[in-house]
């Protein structure tokens, strides 16, 4: 039920809305980095690993069979 409602709303979003969501997430991430500087102490490869896992997930989802 809840997912059906969310899917209906997502279908109405435009490219501009997606851009605003991305900017909002970026700003929130910067705020977290400012408020919790301890998360910036991780080595660079941890961030790269998280990025790679998420990228692979979306590549498989987009290019995979339906």
pLDDT of the chain along its 66 residues, tens only? 678 887 888 888 899 999 999 999 999 999 999 999 888 898 999 999 999 999 999 999 888 876
In this prediction, residue 66 carries a pLDDT of: 63
Whole-number Å distance between alpha carbons of 45 and 51 = 10
What was the pLDDT predicted at 32?
93
How many helices (H) and strands (E) would you count in the chain? Answer: 3, 0
Which structural domain, as residue segments, surrounds residue 22? 2-63
User: CA distances (Å), 44 to each of 28, 41, 48, 52, in order?
Assistant: 20, 9, 6, 12
- At residue 62, the pLDDT reads 86
Give the global pTM.
Answer: 0.66
Structural domains counted in the chain: 1
Rg, C-alpha atoms of the chain: 16
Predicted pLDDT of residue 61: 87
**Alpha carbon 40 to chain centroid, angstroms:** 18
């Amino acid at each position: 039920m809840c997912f059906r409602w969310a899917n209906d709303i997502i279908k109405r979003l435009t490219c501009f809305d997606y851009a605003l969501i991305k900017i909002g997430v970026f700003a929130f991430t910067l705020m977290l980095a400012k408020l919790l500087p301890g998360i910036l102490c991780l080595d660079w490869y941890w961030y790269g690993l998280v990025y790679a896992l998420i990228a692979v997930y979306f590549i498989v989802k987009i290019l995979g069979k339906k």
